[in-house]
Amino acid sequence: MVERPDILIAVAKQAGASDARFVVPEKLVVDENFAAYCKEPGCPNYGLSLSCPPHVSGPRVMREWLAETEYALAVKMEVPKSVLHSVERLEVMRLLHEIVAEVEHKAVSLGFQQSKSFAGGSCKVLFCGEHGNCQTLSGKQQCRNPRSARPSMSGFGVDVASMMKMAGWDSRPLADSEGEDDAMSWVAGLVLVCL
């Protein structure tokens, strides 16, 4: 195994993450049910972009990638619950995509050429909401935001709560968090650091 690129933690924090920690790739839980939730009961963004189901390769391929991953970096952004229940949520989720993408780009520059990053939320809504469609899906043009837009962790079956626990963070989902709207919650992303 090559030396762990601890600099990626600093890159994540400088880009806006509250914290970032390495987790064991082979221990990340990948569950078919999480990817299936995108279709049933149904995400309103299902099928709208190339980075969401059914256009992603899903849990089977995620397991293959994890088997080839040198290091996995969990990334967390702490935000007030009230923000996640407002239109500001879009800005937070865009930033999450940008953070994991920045870490991925740094990993590639360090020689981890096959690195990949994942976030929450549909890139269609976050980056191309004002456009009628995902131009990549049409097959005629490239992604409008290739440097920032990243695939959905859910679409690949990543058990985010399990990842949060593995990183040593509170893993309670937003709906289970206690307290007032000014209480803090989180959103998370993942970077697979691969040679």
Domain-located, residue 176: no
| Any domain includes 126 | yes
48 in a structural domain? yes
Question: If you count DSSP H runs as helices and E runs as strands, how many of each does the chain have, helices first?
Answer: 7, 4
- pLDDT of amino acid 172: 76
Average pLDDT over every residue of 118-141: 90
Q: Is residue 174 part of a domain?
A: no
30 DSSP assignment:
B
Residues in the chain: 195
Is 33 part of any domain? yes
- Give the total number of structural domains in the chain: 1
Is 116 in contact with 165 (CB distance < 8 Å)?
A: no
Q: How far apart are CA 157 and CA 64, in angstroms?
A: 13
Q: How far apart (Å, rounded) are the C-alpha atoms in residues 170 and 102? A: 24
pLDDT digits (tens, 9 = 90+) for 37-71: 888 888 899 999 989 999 999 999 999 999 999 99
Q: Helix, strand, or coil here: 193?
A: strand
| Residues β-bridged to residue 191 | 73, 117
Does 22 map to a domain?
yes
Share above pLDDT 70 across residues of the chain, in percent, rounded to a whole number? 94
Quickly state the pLDDT bin for 139 (edges 50, 70, 90): confident
Range of the domain at 55: 7-169+185-193
What is the rounded average pLDDT of the residues 74-96?
95
Does some domain include residue 177? no
Q: Is residue 178 part of a domain?
A: no
User: Residue 103 above 60 pLDDT?
Assistant: yes
Q: Report CA 2 to chain centroid distance, whole Å.
A: 24
